[in-house]
A and B are shown apart, each in its own frame.
Chain A
Amino acid sequence: MIAAFKRLKASRGVGKFCRNRLAVAALGIIVLYALVGGWVALGDLLPGRAGITYAQVEQPVWPTPINGFGIPATNERRVEAARIITREVKRAVNNGEGFTDIRYGLLHILPGTADSDSELDRLSTLIEESEDLYDQLSEFDDLNSPEPPTLDDGAPDPDSIDVPSTIARLEGAVRQMFAPLSGWQSLKQSLLHSLGTDRQGRSNFLRVIFSIKVALQVGIVVAIISVLVGTFLGAAAAYFGGWVDHAVVWLYSTLSSMPELILLAVLVYAFSGSVFDKVSNPWLALVPVYAAMCMEFWIGPCRVIRGETLKLKELEYVQAATAIGFGRFYILLKHVIPNTVHLMFINFSLLFIAAIKFEVVLSFLGLGVKVGPSWGRMIQESTQEVINGIFWQIGAATVFMFVLVLAFNIVSDALQDAFDPKHVG
């Protein structure tokens, strides 16, 4: 195998690929994604020290949905956020729970405050102030377009409060409950808020970054397994012929005669609830999806490699190896399969794109990733937001996915041009 790679490296195709500047740039983008994905994955290995963990991504960074790119929230949303924070802090004070659980991104209540009476008093004052301001605002039906209350004769009530300044005071009181952020911290906080949040207040930025790992995981696992299985079965079928060939062709004819989404849906149904359906384990979570996709995706490489092997089989060096008396498995592994490496690469790249795109469709239909972020789930969850004009989540997921898929499309085109120029389609 290693020899095959060396041969490949020296081949004309690699040089041709390297001369395609666009393709090299695209490869660079893919490497960048891979680095980010790899760093995120570190979170599973060294939780707390590096990478991003699932639990971190799930933490709300604000109690209410917020807009991306610093677009200000409506008055109603601002007041609601203040109300929820006040409620949480008050509960913690009353239950004597400590404040480690109240945390929005980097905003948190100073550690140790739970023990200090003066701090508790300070918080209680702030809670009272916040509740009082909230009550004052309740005389307005709609704070987004506040109409000053009127007296009986229709004239505006002179005692009525000023809405913008009251909301500002309310927010000020709430902000004082938390420890102040240093410059670096507030930069990080605004990064978390940069792409807005979903309705649970989770950071779209963090979710979209975490999803890179999920996408790469699905793409790599599915593409590698499919290509290896497809190559081996295809090469074996063509090389051995006879019943092996019949069996392999029967299998892929059968599987490919069923509409793929039905097959996938039925397979996911059959797999779900099995021991592999362990969503909470980052390594096992996607097994039903992998299995269902691999079942379908090995067919493509299998067909191509079978066709190629039929040609290779007739070539002199294979004939010669057979004549010398090498074992048939040896020839298959040593002389046939290594000569299909370029096809394996092209297929890998095509299947990688297919897998990523399919994950999105499956998740969208509720068959793929079920819990935890993925681009498909983000798009699915955003369907309820877009009708209210909130595009942050779907926008982020789409852009991040688009760039990766585009890069892969360019690379696989270049690969095809370089190694398999006669191929059509």
Chain B
Amino acid sequence: MMRRPRSSTTCSLLAGAVGLLVAMLALSPVAAQSTGEKFARLPIRSDGPKSLDPAKGSTSYDNQVVCQIYETLLQYKYLVRPDSVTSYEDVSEPLLLAEMPKVSDEADGKQVWKFKLRDDVFFHDDACFPGGKGRKLATDDVFYSWKRLADPKYEYENYWLLQDTILGLDEFKEKFATRQPSKSEPNPPPPPPFDYAAPVEGFRKLSDTEFEVILKKSVVRFGWVISMFQTSIVAREAVEKYGDTLGKHPVGTGPFILKNESDWKPGQNMILHRNPNYRTELYPSEATPKEKEQGLLASAGQKLPLLDRIELTFYTPDPVMWQDFQDRKIALVQVPAEYFEKAFVKRTKRLTKEYSDNGIQAEAVPLLDFIFRGFNMEDPILGGYDEKRTKIRQAISLAVDLDEHNDTFYNGINVVYDGPIPPPLDGFPKNGKAPNSFRGPNLRKARELLAEAGYPEGRGLPEIEYYTSKGSNQAEQTQAEIRQLARIGIRLNPKMVDFSELIEAINQKKAQMFGFAWGSDYPDPENNLALFYSRNKAPGANHYNYDRPEFDKLYEQIIVMKPGPERTSIIEQMRDMVIADVPFVGSMARTRFYLAHPFLKNFKPSEDFYNWFKYLDVDASAPR
């Protein structure tokens, strides 16, 4: 099925062309590939990363590559993934650490995290080290890497991860920050040059492998942050040697290395080789019964990474990626929406007979997604917390039919739910339906609310400026929304703009209503609820400019609260508060379907973390 039989009616002209092509292919280096090394080509569905410097990265595309080369203190477990998540301890395991951190609460509210690094971690061999030999990882590297996030040179791109967390770090950052001119100080003195040697109170070095980090308070997020790729550990020597070009010349501790700069052709592909000096890190040997049955323990106890070489191919057009999977050029693939019905029966979400007979493996990966249509709560017509404006928003919410979107544009594989918290996190309502739901469609109720707000049948309500980014099927989705809202008499003026212009409009609070999505940075509902925290207003992640003191108070509570039933109930309270105020119409979480050829082993994709390429293996004997 995958390879179509060659047509027998090839005419002589074509035969000539074939001969020419074969001769050309023989010359090409691609054809020579039988060195016995284990190799897989894996797709990345984007232009790829912009920079390989963890301090500059922010998108999942950066993450996908950076985490193959750099490592964090903790990582997510590959196997035995929990059904529901309450704490970082449920999903994390040590990566650069010898053991899980020991956390102790101090009497004054501070919290001390005690870390012990592994003793056998070395940086990649690189010219930046004396003799070109990778140096051993030490405590100072951790402190150095985290201080970088506070360096204005990196524009505080990722400082939010550590903000208001580590004792003395905020003060450290302020010391070197450019002060804005103000009335009282029109010409503030320039800041001193950034000094990595300056002390931070919360960083306490005990030895080269042991250290303590003192938090201002018990920040729950910190447990998640130390497995996020932006906090990866970098080598000071490399930063100093490569400066601005570190983004093209990564030196980490991870399982794969970028041998030459030319191995990365931006927008096309990147070849990563096994790190020959990688420490002894073994494939996990624990699995759930289901995973065992899937054969995911076949490599248990083997040394990672299992592949000698991986080639990451960047695909922006889906058709090429799909075709390459059919041709077995890539080992796995995300199923693009428009191809879904080629591999699956839409009704049953099962592989078609053709695919399952060929041994294709399929995995559904639920994403931590929050797709919504937001409102600017500071807008004079739609924003605000009074009854009238709230009712308009509720009416809009009740008129939008997300089931139709799911059916028409996503093959019905998404989860439609209430509130901002996707499954399987705490605060996801049972069956996706919250008690005070305003999810549509319920046109009768929508019309009633609109009339109560003083706009019966939408009469008198001005047109709503609705911003969405263009691209793939956004225009079609927008047309569907216009039609849905027209049913209750609300008119939208859609503004289809590039994603950058969408952000611009939101940041400048110009967009009355906007289509947007949020992928959780880490699986804690706090990350999604932060979208409604008033201190994160535009240009921060609170695109709605939602501002409710009672919400803020609760949010500040859950930041420092131990996971447990009490925290969950506060989270639910916050969720219901947001649902009632309707700062957004929502929500939807995507499910991504992955396919893999039978020759790919240990296939268990995830989009919560990306460093699972090191667990992948190929069956060299299987036909390729």
Contact = CB atoms under 8 A, between A and B. Distances in A.
A–B interface present (Cβ within 8 A): yes
Nearest to B352: A142
A80 B348 CA distance: 11
Contact of A279 (B442, B486, B495): B495
B93 to A, nearest CB: 38
A281 to B, nearest CB: 8
A58 B482 contact: yes
Contact of A200 (B338, B341, B476): B476
A138 B348 contact: yes
Interface in B341-356: 341-342, 345-348, 350, 352-353
Contact of B471 (A95, A281, A366): A366
Contact of B478 (A101, A147, A371, A381): A371
Contacts of A141: 345, 348, 350, 353
Interface stretch (A270-278, A292-300, A313-321, A345-353): A270-278
Given A80-B346, A97-B443, A199-B408, A388 B495 contact: no
B281 interface: no
Contacts of A80: 346-347
B463 A280 contact: yes
A200 B480 contact: yes
Contacts, number: 104
Contacts of B510: 273
Interface in A241-263: none
Contacts of B443: 95, 97, 101
A388 B341 CA distance: 9
Interface string A58-95: 11000000000000000010011001100100010001
Interface string B347-390: 11010110000000000000000000000000000000000000
A377 interface: yes
A84 B491 contact: no
Contacts of A371: 475, 478-479, 482, 494, 496
Given A91-B441, A142-B352, A272 B492 contact: no
Contacts of B476: 198-200, 381
B329 interface: no
A137 B615 CA distance: 40
B417 to A, nearest CB: 18
Contacts of A91: 441-442
A280 B81 CA distance: 48
B87 to A, nearest CB: 39
Contact of B495 (A142, A199, A273, A377): A273
Contact of A280 (B338, B353, B471, B491): B491
A370 B496 contact: yes
B409 to A, nearest CB: 8
Contacts of B348: 138, 141-142
Given A280-B463, A366-B471, A273 B444 contact: no
A76 B340 CA distance: 14
Contacts of B441: 91
A143 B347 contact: yes
Interface in B437-496: 441-445, 463, 470-471, 473, 475-476, 478-480, 482-483, 486-487, 491-496
Contact of B494 (A83, A84, A280, A384): A280
Nearest to A279: B494
A378 to B, nearest CB: 11
A96 interface: yes
Contact of B475 (A98, A269, A377): A377
A90 to B, nearest CB: 12
Given A272-B497, A273-B495, A280-B493, A200 B408 contact: yes
Contacts of A87: 403
B199 interface: no
B261 interface: no
Nearest to B511: A273
B577 interface: no
Instruction: Give the interface size class of chain A.
Output: 35 or more
Contacts of B475: 366, 370-371, 377, 381
A273 B505 contact: yes
B323 to A, nearest CB: 10
A387 interface: yes
Contacts of B267: none
A395 interface: no
B269 to A, nearest CB: 23
B322 to A, nearest CB: 8
A387 B319 contact: yes
A279 B483 contact: no
Given A142-B352, A371-B482, A381-B476, A366 B496 contact: yes
Contacts of B403: 87
A388 B337 CA distance: 12
A142 B493 contact: no
Contact of A370 (B339, B347, B352, B470): B470
Contacts of B480: 200
Given A145-B353, A280-B491, A84 B345 contact: no
Contacts of B494: 279-280, 370-371
A43 interface: no
A372 interface: yes
B327 interface: no
A55 interface: yes
A104 to B, nearest CB: 13
Nearest to B505: A273
Interface in A25-53: none
Contact of A273 (B347, B409, B463, B497): B497
Contact of B470 (A84, A145, A366): A366
Interface hub of A59, A95, A143, A381 (most chain B Cβ within 10 A): A95
Contacts of A372: 479
A97 B496 CA distance: 32
Contact of B493 (A83, A98, A101, A279): A279
B286 interface: no
B501 interface: yes
Interface of B: 319, 338-339, 341-342, 345-348, 350, 352-353, 403, 407-409, 441-445, 463, 470-471, 473, 475-476, 478-480, 482-483, 486-487, 491-498, 501, 505, 510
Given A280-B494, A388-B339, 12 more contacts: A58-B479, A79-B347, A95-B444, A101-B443, A200-B480, A269-B498, A272-B501, A279-B496, A366-B475, A370-B496, A372-B479, A384-B473
Interface of A: 55, 58-59, 76, 79-80, 83-84, 87, 91, 95-98, 101, 138, 141-145, 147, 198-200, 269, 272-273, 277-281, 366, 370-372, 377, 381, 384, 387-388
21 contacts: A58-B479, A58-B486, A59-B483, A76-B345, A95-B442, A96-B444, A141-B353, A142-B348, A199-B408, A199-B409, A199-B476, A200-B479, A277-B495, A278-B493, A279-B496, A280-B492, A366-B470, A366-B471, A370-B494, A371-B475, A371-B479
